[in-house]
Amino acid sequence: MTEQNDEKKASENQEQDILSTPLGRRAFLSGFGLGAGITAASFIVFGATRNQTTSIGISPESLSESSSLNGCPYILPTPEPFVSPSFCDPKEFPEVDDSVLSLNECNLTLPALPDEDSYTISVRLYNDLIPGQTFRRYPGEKIQFTLYNQLSPNVLPAGETCEELQHANKPACFNSTNMHFHGLHVSPKTNEVTGVSSDDVFVEVRPAENHQYCVALPEFHAPGTHWYHAHRHGSTAIQAANGMAGAIIIPEPPGERRLGVTDDNDKIWLIQEILDVSDGEAFYTTPGSSNPNNPKGQSGQFLVNGQYQPTLTIDNAHTLQRWRFINATGTPRGLMTLKLCKCTDTSDTSTDCGTLEDM
């Protein structure tokens, strides 16, 4: 009997040691140097990801082989640590004249922040992608597509219409949209005969409607990095913060690529702060959401090309890369600088980083 009690007590002590062991709270990041990884955390500080477990009631009746892991009873399976995804560029839009850009409502699961679980929010996305596909066009070419608005109908107060509210200086009609081609030297008009639009921000595409766009780049257009996003007055902020943005790249003419940067080393970094805007009124009125002096506003997750803290690995330290940064955020939290850090592994769960320079 005494031997059984001793074994039971040892088992309970072992269980207590296991349950009291602290879990690592910092994501392991690659160092910067020869063949090193460069992460999105280089230029903005993210909350550390913590492992999540679920509390369950334990009783003798509930115990089974399924509740035992490696001979340790009463605990759930070991939680998975956060693994930084590999950096990848956004998908590119096809170079055809009958392309479709479909605006849809999707569910997006965002990773956990400290003291929180991962969570799923409703977002508005072009062709179900975050960010939207990249338009890569040379001077003299066209950006041409039909925008299909498949969002839910607008919810309006009794007696009000989107036509009346379109030019009012207040948020409204969150599911009506249009397209703005930010930074391009192009026409801001709509053809009165065909109804096809260039960069006309006064167009309104309501739910269940579609609209044709044809943006002609002049032959003299300079190479550069630009982006597109929704720009209907009254719903611009809520749609941009909800994921409706993508890159526009105007490359140098063939044979004139500067500094010898190859296509595979020409990287897009499209940065978005994705917010839960399901309650439009709360999004616009929460204190701090647009006030840098009041940090208590609604906060979202910062993503780079739709990924959380991706790692860019450079195999050759002498490789020349061009990084095209697009800040597609919509709150003061998106103001940022780029910091390059040289990091040294200090343990299995942390790194010691020193700033090389601010850019």
99-110 and 142-149: which strand pairing?
parallel
Residue 352 lies in a domain: no
Measured between alpha carbons, how far is 99 from 144 in angstroms, rounded to an integer? Answer: 7
Q: Would you state the pLDDT for residue 25?
A: 32
User: How far apart, in whole angstroms, are the C-alpha atoms of residue 303 and residue 90?
Assistant: 12
Q: Into how many domains does the chain fold?
A: 1
pLDDT score, position 89? 87
pLDDT digits (tens, 9 = 90+) for 292-324: 444 444 566 889 999 888 888 888 777 888 999
- Over residues 171-194, the pLDDT tens digits come to 888 899 999 999 999 999 999 999
Share of residues in the chain with pLDDT > 90 (%): 33
Q: Flag whether pLDDT at 75 surpasses 70.
A: no
Task: Identify which of 29, 46, 37, 42 has the alpha carbon closest to the alpha carbon of residue 273.
Answer: 46
Give pLDDT, residue 39.
35
Does any domain span residue 334? yes
Residue type, 216: A
88 located within any domain: no
17-31, 233-247, 340-354: least confidently modelled range: 17-31
Assess if residue 155 is contained within a domain: yes
Q: Which domain holds residue 125?
A: 99-312+321-338
CATH number at residue 204: 2.60.40.420
Span 219-250, pLDDT tens digits: 999 999 999 999 988 888 889 888 999 999 99
Q: Round to whole Å and give the CA distance between 197 and 99.
A: 15
Tokens standing for residue 51? 């492992």
| Residue 273 falls inside a structural domain | yes
Whether residue 325 contacts residue 303, with contact meaning beta carbons closer than 8 Å, is answered with no
Residue 299 falls within a domain, yes or no? yes
pLDDT, position 280: 63
Is the residue at 60 inside a domain?
no
- C-alpha 17/C-alpha 200 separation (Å) is 65
Q: Give the residue with greater pLDDT, 2 vs 283.
A: 283
CB-based contact 311:30 (threshold 8 Å) = yes
Give the three-class secondary structure for 311: strand
33 within a domain of the structure (yes/no):
no
SS3 of residue 246 by DSSP = strand
Q: How far apart are CA 274 and CA 292, in angstroms?
A: 18
Task: Give the total residue count for the chain.
Answer: 359
